[in-house]
Structure 1
Amino acid sequence: MSNSGTIKNVLIIGAGGNLGPSILTALLSEPKFVVTVLSRESSTSTFPSAAQVIKIPSYDDKAALIKAFTGQDAVINVVAGSVSRAAQNRIADAAAEAGVKRYIPNEFGSETRNPAAWALLPIFEDKYLQTKHAADLAEKHPGFTWTSVITGGFFDWGLKVGFYRFDLKQHTASIIDSGNAQATVTTLARIGDSIVSILLHPAETANRYIYTQSFNYTQNELLAALEKHTNAKWTVTHANSDELIKSGKAALAKGDFSGFQDIILAYNHGDEAHANHEKGVAESRAILGLPKQDLDTVLKEVLKA
């Protein structure tokens, strides 16, 4: 990478969603970065005054993307996963053509390099192919590099909105299969800190997957911790992962996107789960330099909020 790989000017696209604000907050807390937000003209999102804001008509406007990306050392893509792969790839193309040094595609979630996952949810294959597209661009554009970030589930967000089917108000929980499968999860703030660390270590993080984590947990461990911290006995139901996958696929076939949740939960928490990323996390931890968090501490903060 030119200029010894130094990254100063950082642009984030999609800073107004569920994850984007936490990444933006982390970027703005690092004095080495000059931070820009790219947003659509139709967006009503507001951003801290410390960030420069550029608005363009559409993310489909490649010329506008290239203009916005020119002069940026890094582009972080947190655009909604519902945006088509063609549109996501167009963002990567514009970054490469604009001379961006580091591009972070919109992975942020489960491991996507497992073909078994592609059969369950096409979005997994889409995310994998977006990263592959960035890797292909790196072969063609000297100085352009990429980093994909695997985080597991967004723990605090998922718990607050009921995605994991642990209801913090009603004190009810749905346990999948035995409830003993290990799952890697990361808080939104830790994802933001991980992005900062990646950009501060450009040589070590270039052209590779980086795994980050707050901690691993099982559903049974989460249930026990919630009962302790809420001082209540929770009402528990049980679900079968195979049935969740079946019902999830049926729902998606009808256009009901709640089926996505069923499949993700089964994939991450069933007894045949694929959500333990500890090996990848261990390899990345030395680079990121971020300490492992623990369930109890994070859970207290979530409940307090």
Structure 2
Amino acid sequence: MPRIKNVAVFGASGRVGKVVVSALRSAGFSVTAITRPGSDAAYPSGLVVKRAAYDDFESLVAILRGHDAIVEAFNPAAAVQQTAIVKAALAAGVSHLITPDFSTDTFNTNASEIMIFEPKLKAQKELERLTSSPDCPLSWTAIITNGWYDWAIDVGVFWINKANRTITRFGSGDQKYAMSRLDICGEATVAVLQEPEKFRNRPAYFAHHTVSNNDLISIIREIFPHEEWKVLDVPIKDFLGEGLKLWHADTEKGVTNRLGTKAYQMLGTIAIFDEDNRFGGDFGIKAEPDNDAGLASLKEDLKRLLTFT
């Protein structure tokens, strides 16, 4: 495969898109942001911005022509447009596509049990259908990162609560899980596009750390020895069943934006903390080598993120 130089990023103004664009530009890639008509999103100075509806095949082909790769960094809900995007990529001669993952493991054999993955699973199925020919010029990679602890602490959705000085322990607290800083999304994208053949047509697992909640409790007590942190124990064995009931109830009510719902929260939690690692929260040997940032780095990050300034 020829060297990838020109990269189009969908969702470039979003949480993932911003770090992906920054990392790609720093690594020397030429980047184009693709935004929808009518969007008033702000972009970094010097970034090329093109406008097209994600389902507008002709406009997408015109914009994507001359690009070597696509990064789908958009909200998972936009994955419903995968057919048009992939067909446009094929028509424009794009050689590699990074799918809208950047989160928990949608390739786990039990992923379909957790309804929150449904848009991504449908998009992945459509991508594989459209690129199934042995001589298809378009390859793909799914980047799996699990949660981003620095972002989650900043916005108050992590299981370590800075404001209240609490740590939520789900279940026994012994289950290991992968977690990373948000910038892993950019680091992983650069790594994949620098060696696309290495990551061809497969998920790639990137993580800065693999820990348990009990590990985090010990670390917090070590780095803040003179503070009182309260541990909140939350049973998790019924999260899957209860979360699915709430999910189906929301469906009956016509709820479409599910990211802030209790059902989404419960199902996302069990995806990471299941005691038997049923949904692949712990990447184990699947994790790409040389990405673990080490215990000292985690302690430094947590001290910085949790100290009041």
TM-score, normalisation: structure 1: 0.88
Gap runs ≥5 in structure 2: 251-257
Tell me the percent identity.
Answer: 26
Report the equivalent of 1:240: 235
Q: 1:43 aligns with which of 22, 39, 44?
A: 39
Structure 1 residue 168, shift from structure 2 partner: 0.8
Does residue 143 (structure 1) correspond to residue 149 (structure 2)? The answer is: no
SS of 1:54's equivalent in the other structure is strand
Report the equivalent of 1:62: 57
- Structure 1 stretch displaced more, 231-240 or 181-190: 231-240
- Structure 1 stretch displaced more, 178-187 or 220-229: 220-229
Determine which structure has the larger helix proportion and give its number: 1
Report the equivalent of 2:267: 263
Q: 1:90 aligns with which of 60, 81, 84?
A: 84
SS of 2:77's equivalent in the other structure is coil
Report the equivalent of 2:152: 158
Report the equivalent of 1:15: 12
SS of 1:174's equivalent in the other structure is strand
Structure 1 residue 210, shift from structure 2 partner: 1.1
Looking at structure 2, the residues matched to 275 and 227 of structure 1 have their Cα atoms a distance apart, in angstroms, of 24
Q: How does 1:1-305 map to 2 (within 5 A)?
A: 1=1, 5-31=2-28, 33-56=29-52, 58-83=53-78, 85-121=79-115, 123-140=116-133, 142-230=136-224, 231-255=226-250, 257-273=261-277, 274-281=280-287, 284-285=288-289, 290=291, 292-294=293-295, 295-303=298-306
Q: Deviations over 1:132-165 (max 9, x none)?
A: 4323333346321111111122222223223333
Identify if the C-alpha distance between structure 1 residues 227 and 90 changes in structure 2 by more than 3 Å, giving closer, same or farther. farther
Structure 1 residue 301, shift from structure 2 partner: 4.1
Q: Deviations over 1:235-284 (max 9, x none)?
A: 22211212322332233234362211111112211312330102111xx3
SS of 1:241's equivalent in the other structure is coil
Structure 1 residue 10, shift from structure 2 partner: 0.6
Looking at structure 1, the residues matched to 118 and 109 of structure 2 have their Cα atoms a distance apart, in angstroms, of 8
Q: C-alpha root-mean-square deviation of aligned residues, in Å?
A: 2.1
Gap runs ≥5 in structure 1: none
Looking at structure 2, the residues matched to 181 and 291 of structure 1 have their Cα atoms a distance apart, in angstroms, of 18
Contact 1:240–1:270, Cα closer than 8 Å, also in 2: no
Looking at structure 1, the residues matched to 148 and 228 of structure 2 have their Cα atoms a distance apart, in angstroms, of 25
SS of 1:210's equivalent in the other structure is strand
Structure 1 residue 195, shift from structure 2 partner: 0.6
Contact 2:77–2:119, Cα closer than 8 Å, also in 1: no
Looking at structure 2, the residues matched to 132 and 293 of structure 1 have their Cα atoms a distance apart, in angstroms, of 35
Looking at structure 2, the residues matched to 82 and 166 of structure 1 have their Cα atoms a distance apart, in angstroms, of 28
SS of 2:31's equivalent in the other structure is strand
Structure 1 residue 173, shift from structure 2 partner: 2.3
SS of 2:178's equivalent in the other structure is strand
Structure 1 residue 111, shift from structure 2 partner: 1.5
Q: Deviations over 1:207-255 (max 9, x none)?
A: 2221111110111112222333344221222112123223322332343
Q: Deviations over 1:72-125 (max 9, x none)?
A: 101000110122x4313322222122110110111111111234231222x424
Number of residue pairs aligned between Structure 1 and Structure 2: 293
One-letter code of the match for 2:215? E
